[in-house]
Amino acid sequence: MSIPLSPAARLLAALDLPVGDAHDLPASPHRFPDGAHYRVEIPSVEGPRVLAAVIEEARTRGVPIHRVSQGSGIMLLTDEEIGEMCGMCRETRMELSLFVGPRAAWDTGASVVSPAGRTLGAQLRGQDQVRYALDDVIRAVELGVRSVLVADIGLLRILDLARQAGHLPADLIIKISVQLAAANPLAIAVLADEGATTINVPTDLSLAHLAAIRQHCDVPLDVYVEVPDGFGGFVRHYEIPALIEAVAPVYVKFGLRNAPDIYPSGLHLENVAVLMARERVRRAELGLALLRRQLGDVSGQALRMSDVGVADAPGVPAVRGAPAPERR
């Protein structure tokens, strides 16, 4: 028996919107500008020493890394540290994405520690915090950073307006944090319309959820295939081939289960952060090996990874950016 469409389903169809989740996982027609299906991201790269460990481990293991992201915030890095990280990423052709520092969880309000208010932790609380966050971004951009990680829709709007008006670089990447938690095609589209360049989706969305989002939006999605315990602790390596095919363009993001929360990081946690970063690269090696094995069984099909160069690598600081100081 065929079930007739509900009034809501008919309305969605009339508006040319997804009627439901894409359980058939149709192949995505979208790609990165270089024609690739996917790129690899290593999160929680909290400073120059951690970044150096990621680069060394990636070279040793032959793992291509396209983006590294940081979670403690721009405000907890010195100018010299930011300059050094920019230089290292320029050298290795990787995007460097730094989290904007201030957020509600570090402020004086009590809502973020209440059961109902915990989701507010990464939002900006009041216009003073918005101004602090904007100062954070301006400082990072002046030091050469071209990719910032935001978790507040108000800040997203301001950054996009500033970018359009020429107050911020036109090539500034605005990466949406997993903590903004847009979990359906329409919510993702709102973020894209507000100027998001790349969007980290909630960690527990199914492949059908993600495929439905892709039917309505062509902005790259950042998807954890291994998730820190604080965000659910899922290990989804075996979904990588289907994820790339149905959700391209996608950043395959390797977090780490069974690991301590290091935010906000600093010298007191640096050794732990370095070891965790090395293990994330190892996890990426395992995930990419699984992908190669799976593709070996599919004749004539190839899911291509980006191979970007300095001139077109997203988020790589331009040469005009602050030079990196000598490494100590």
Return averaged pLDDT per consecutive 10 residues of the chain, 328 residues in all.
85 93 96 95 97 97 96 95 97 95 69 64 86 96 96 96 97 95 95 97 96 96 94 93 97 94 89 96 97 70 69 54 33
Supply the pLDDT for residue 101: 79
Supply the pLDDT for residue 123: 84
Q: Whole-prediction pTM value?
A: 0.90
Supply the pLDDT for residue 1: 53
Question: Which DSSP string corresponds to 282-320?
Answer: HHHHHHHHHHHHHHTTSTT---PBP---TTT-TTPPPTT
Nearest alpha-carbon partner for 172 in 321, 13, 31: 321
Q: At residue 317, what is the residue type?
A: P
Question: Quick check: 314 and 35 in contact, CB under 8 A?
Answer: no
Taking CA atoms, 188 is separated from 69, 95, 195, 199, 308, in Å, by 20, 22, 11, 8, 26
Residue 299 backbone class (left: φ over 0; alpha: ψ -120 to 50; beta: rest): beta
Cα–chain center distance at 182: 13
Nearest alpha-carbon partner for 99 in 119, 122, 128, 70: 70
